[in-house]
Copies of this chain bind each other. A is one copy, B any other.
Amino acid sequence: MSPFAALATTITLEDIKNKAVGDFKPHETAVLALSADCQSQGYQAICLPLTTTKWQERWKNMCIVPSVEDAANEAAIAADKEAEAWRKSPSFLLDEVTITRLDEAEFVLAMASEWLRLDSDDDWVRHDSGIALRQEVAYASYLNVHTIILPPPRNRSQVASYARVINECLKSIPYMQFSVRLPIYDPAVFQSKEPSSPTSHGDHGWSGASSPPHAPTTPPKLATPGSFPPGSLRSTKAPEGELNATWEMWDIIRNVCDYNIRLTLALDLTPPLPANAGVLGRWAAEPVTHIFLPASAFIANVKGYPHRPTFILSGVRCGLHAQGGESAYAQYVKYLEKSSPSVQAMKTEGTVENFGQGYQDYLQNPLQPLMDNLQSITYQTFEQDPVKYHNYEEAIYRALVDLPDSDRIVICVAGAGRGPLVARSLKAVRRSNRQAFIYALEKNPTAWITLQERKAKDWGSPVELVFGDMRHVELPEKVDILVSELLGSFGDNELSPECLDGAMRFLKPDGISIPSSYTAYLAPLSSSKLYNAARESRELKGVETPYVVMFQNVNLLSGDGGGVGGRCGPKIQECWDFVHPRGDVAVDDRGLPFTNSHNVRAARLCFHIPHAGVMHGFAGYFEAVLYGHVGLSIHPQRKDYISKDMLSWFPLFFPLREPLYLPSNSEVQVSLWRLTNDRQVWYEWFAESFLPVFNSPSPVDQSEDVLGPDGSFFASTSTHVAVPSPLIDAIDAFPLTPRSVGPRTGAESARSASGVVKIGQTALHNPGGRSSWIGL
């Protein structure tokens, strides 16, 4: 496979007509000739309209009546009958399609008729556009076309009908990819409604406004500079709502299509782009498989798009940039891709991007090193990490230096594995010029063999091996420094706290634990790819479980800055931490805690969501303090300062069972618990969404039920309480949550206060720890 994204070029009806007048070899056609030309120029595919203007004319004549006055005449009746005959068995005439042969279709991305109005406000136009699309899709499928590009949705209020038809097509055609062409930003969606003529075909009994679409010859409306007032071009600010509109339509479409994996996005970069990176970032979490790049607006930021989409160039034959010739556009796209930071990083050895190739957005079950004994190959993979061990050595060195000089400093490496931390400890001892003795403790009987070999070969007498579980074995003496590496992607998720509770017995009262603490971090995340992957995995396993994932097609939904009401924390928030040693746990005679209650944790976090998005789960990270200022971090905003290029941990992904829609400027309140019983540790999670509200008008509701539909108990006109009953009426329009409210006496204060209103919630995930870490 080519390391680059595929390139396609657009063929117009004009191109085909021009080519058709030339000479062909026997059995060749204009489309085949164009296809051969394009392939010789280095394009992997051609993007082609599936139908001709003949089809458009026939459809229009059948399905659109010019005006109301003419609706009753002979021609209209004939058109009606013709339309009914077509609806009964929809099919093309030969001159209505651009391709007819399998070989013509081979390299084709077929564009369905752009003038179809699947989201028209007119019921008949919508209905007949749906029949036409199904006909086109069926024809493309007949020719074995693998991808069809759908006309863009243009009407926010009818997008559910658009989506419903696409879902119908997806269900009826088994293999084809359906790609929704969509501009990132399209002010046309907000233009005034379609003009009111021509009208649709007769009044067939549908109620509702019958404002039909533009004459079907009008191409999709896209923003042009002319649609803004003169002089305001660069200062125009698009309101959040308009920036959301096209994404919101996409969200409805993929939701109505139940996240079908054959439904993808063809992002159209033809209209002007908004400059707001936060608004654009959301597209990174969507299945973008095609990008339309017009030669007329060649842009400078086509770098390292993570999805490897096909770039569809258009207008490359118009001579707009004559200097480089037709192929300059394709070369430039390849150059930009090659020089992008993420592609560069992927090609550079030692980076996470290079190390993690093939693991992007791939769900892995977290390790359970306490329950399972790791394989040698697993140890070897993690031992490749140069940063982690470097930082460990540095932490041990500094701890040694800080200790009062002594003729015998005792170190214990708890969980020595195949020995890398023992080796680093020895190096740190040498560097510090201290006299130190090392106990290497390991419970994995197979790694134990490797440790014996290393002691015999490399380490000798300064190291003593001790076999056993750190929660049960005894050491002959107390130690000054306890070194361990039991951390998971979320810090505590491989049961480091529970294991170290056992090992803390070894530590002298003023001893040092490396790590000295670790913190778990969380952020809400959107990713249709991860949602689908988790859904699939769930069907197999029937559990809700966190996964280890190298994130790629994801978008963190949260923002910094506290949100509209200043109630929210930062983009990525701290859940809890664990500190070692901790002196406040009651322990028994052997120094072990009575219960694991002190390792239970609960976090309630509030995130600000600046731009509308769909939450599919949470990203989990950790940061550990090894000693002093030396640490390990996979926190996205801090990892490069603390442990750049560390490879050992991908983040954790906590999936949601059902996506949760979050509007712009909303807040999401996440509850996360770390729970434990005698044998297991697990997480449960739950979220509620809120929207800030302001000084709202307070209409008195005139619609109170006098009697419920079922004549039920409470729905009577009077509910007088006999004895101590102050009667209370509801009049305020907007509720406030307790968080923002002190004691109040009446409605007055509510009206001037600003607060939040609850708008949604998730299920409780992983209740009872159906997915858990076992081994206590």
Contact = CB atoms under 8 A, between A and B. Distances in A.
A380 to B, nearest CB: 27
A687 B661 CA distance: 13
Interface stretch (A37-45, A135-143, A436-444, A689-697): A689-697
A81 to B, nearest CB: 5
A225 B724 contact: yes
Contact of A608 (B202, B258, B345, B703): B703
Interface stretch (A26-34, A299-307, A396-404): A299-307
A622 B691 CA distance: 37
21 contacts: A163-B764, A167-B764, A190-B738, A191-B743, A206-B601, A234-B726, A236-B726, A236-B746, A238-B729, A241-B735, A273-B721, A274-B719, A274-B728, A274-B729, A277-B706, A278-B705, A281-B712, A284-B712, A297-B722, A299-B725, A559-B703
A622 B671 CA distance: 44
A277 B719 contact: yes
Interface string A706-732: 101111111111111111111111111
Interface stretch (A48-56, A460-468, A475-483, A578-586): A578-586
- The winner among A126, A553, A571, A767 for most chain B CB atoms within 10 A is A767
Contact of A164 (B276, B610, B684, B716): B684
Nearest to A727: B275
A31 to B, nearest CB: 30
B80 A586 contact: yes
A305 B713 CA distance: 4
A505 interface: no
Contact of A275 (B127, B237, B600, B718): B718
Given A171-B768, A728-B275, A764-B167, A594 B88 contact: yes
A364 interface: no
Q: Which 3 A-B pairs have the closest CB atoms?
A: A241-B735, A559-B703, A280-B714
Interface residues of A, number: 196
Q: So how many copies of this chain end up in the complex?
A: 2
B734 A764 contact: no
A717 B277 contact: yes
Contacts of A585: 204
Given A710-B552, A764-B163, A241 B84 contact: no
Contacts of A578: 205
Contacts of A755: 241
A598 interface: yes
- The winner among A252, A619, A658, A735 for most chain B CB atoms within 10 A is A735
Contacts of A238: 728-730
B236 A728 contact: yes
A348 interface: no
B768 A296 contact: no
Contacts of A709: 551, 554, 556, 619, 636
A703 B225 contact: no
A306 B714 CA distance: 10
B661 A658 contact: no
A303 B604 CA distance: 42
Given A160-B671, A242-B735, A693-B693, 12 more contacts: A207-B577, A239-B730, A274-B727, A278-B703, A300-B718, A304-B713, A345-B711, A564-B696, A564-B697, A663-B757, A691-B759, A695-B695
A584 B202 contact: yes
B241 A301 contact: no
Contacts of A164: 671, 673, 684, 686, 764, 767
A564 B728 contact: no
A304 to B, nearest CB: 6
Contacts of A610: 701, 703-704
A722 B329 CA distance: 14
Interface in A598-616: 598, 600-604, 608, 610-612
Given A240-B732, A703-B608, A711-B345, A156 B737 contact: yes
A408 interface: no
A541 B739 CA distance: 44
B280 A715 contact: yes
Given A190-B738, A767-B167, A722 B299 contact: yes
Contacts of A202: 584
Given A297-B722, A602-B123, A719-B280, A234 B727 contact: yes
Interface stretch (A243-251, A417-425, A448-456): A243-251
Contacts of A80: 586
A672 B193 CA distance: 22
A632 B161 CA distance: 32
A328 interface: no
Contacts of A192: 742-743
A272 interface: yes
B305 A712 contact: yes
Contacts of A280: 714-715, 719
A702 interface: yes
A224 B724 CA distance: 8
Contacts of A296: 723-724
Interface string A572-594: 00101111001011100000011
A190 B701 CA distance: 23
Interface in A82-137: 84-85, 87-88, 123, 126-127
A342 interface: yes
A711 to B, nearest CB: 5
B584 A204 contact: yes
A90 to B, nearest CB: 10
Interface string A354-365: 000000000000
B734 A240 contact: yes
A644 interface: no
A232 interface: yes
Contacts of A719: 273-275, 277, 280, 299, 301
B703 A297 contact: no
Given A658-B658, A757-B664, A297 B721 contact: yes
A760 interface: yes
Contact of A207 (B576, B706, B721): B576
A664 B734 contact: yes
Nearest to A525: B709
Nearest to A596: B87
B157 A739 contact: yes
